[in-house]
Amino acid sequence: MKLAGITALFASLAAAVSVDLNQRASPLAVAIKVVENSVVQATVTNNGKTPLKVLQAAAKVPFDGLRLQIATSGLTEDAFKTINPGQTISVSWDVAEVHDLSAGGAFDLLTTGTLSYAEADSTELTGTVAFTSNVVTASIDGTAASNVRRAFHDNVKRTIVQSDCTSTKLTATRTGESNCRAFAAAASTAALSGPAAKMVEYFKSSTTATRNTVAGVFNKVATECGSTTSGVSKTYCSDVLSSCSSGVLAYTLPSSSLIVNCPLYFSALPAVTSTCHAQDQATCTLHETTHLSQIKGTTDQGGCYGYSCVQSLTASQNLNHADTYALFANALFLSRL
């Protein structure tokens, strides 16, 4: 029996009433089932007594494919879908697009992640709640799964040949890469020899092993962001995979080393922020770069964004969490001003 763990970014969650979901059982029940071969359907049911507003950004995204970066402020009402008490919403995706199931046979599938939520009458994210689905067994036709994966990646290759970063978007992208390099270089030095308290604050540890791991990631980021004409990834300014929905700043497809800056990256983010733990183009680029398999292959822990969520993670989760690296770099930059 083989296990294919699917980390799900269903959505960021905005509660329609003021409750502390970190201290109570989640009102959401998540269940998955196999529809056909490698096609899986997930359902989310609101078992609570009040409506929930769910961010729709991830509704069309393969669970372990794209890594979305969601804005943590300035979200608008049209980014959310209300799930009423007792209502169920569903989403289907083909696991074979983003997992190599060509060997065929029996696979156990599950989805697990973290949802962000906001207070009543607000679209500002203020906390997180974790979820885990049931486990289902899929009997996979390896040949069919291989064809699905090949078709998906061939489509990506046909799409990304565009040279679409032009004019002001090209300037912003180049500036974002340059600032990403500077932030990462400074963060690498701080990780190796900076205050232990900062390492503990963001990574829950200041051991030599942790320092070396974090510094190594930042060194790779600095190298990758150090050139706009070479490196392991390609960055695009148009929505080549149709995933720049409301609230999405950027996304990465690690399996194709592809990064996309969405329209919101250019319209909502400053080049560099002067506010601690706020988002900007520099740390957004750094965040996405850590997702690349050749850099660290970080995840978003299912949808964990912002300082409060970073604080809720374990040390091992922080080491593999994109926003932890981005917020550490942001804090180090601002401390030098």
Which active-site residues does the annotation give?
288
Indicate the helix (H) or strand (E) that contains 333: helix 322-335
Question: What does DSSP assign to residue 240?
Answer: T
Residue (of 236, 238, 237, 331) closest to 277 by Cα position: 331
Q: Is 287 annotated as a binding residue?
A: yes
Indicate the helix (H) or strand (E) that contains 193: helix 167-193
Both structure tokens of 135: 């486990």
Question: What does DSSP assign to residue 50?
Answer: S
Q: Is 291 annotated as a binding residue?
A: yes
Residue (of 199, 171, 188, 159) closest to 271 by Cα position: 171
Q: Which residue has the tokens 């950004």?
A: 57
Residues forming beta bridges with residue 87, ordered by sequence position: none
**Contact in structure between 134 and 31 (CB atoms under 8 Å):** yes
Q: How far is CA 171 from CA 17, 223, 313, in A?
A: 42, 19, 35
Q: Which residue has the tokens 């993670």?
A: 313
Both structure tokens of 34: 């196999």
In the three-class reduction of DSSP (H, G, I as helix; E, B as strand; rest coil), residue 304 is classed as: coil
Side-by-side strand order, sheet with 80-83? 13-15, 52-55, 80-83
Question: What does DSSP assign to residue 238?
Answer: S
Please report, in range form, the residues annotated as the binding site. Answer: 287, 291, 300
Please report, in range form, the residues annotated as the binding site for Zn(2+). Answer: 287, 291, 300
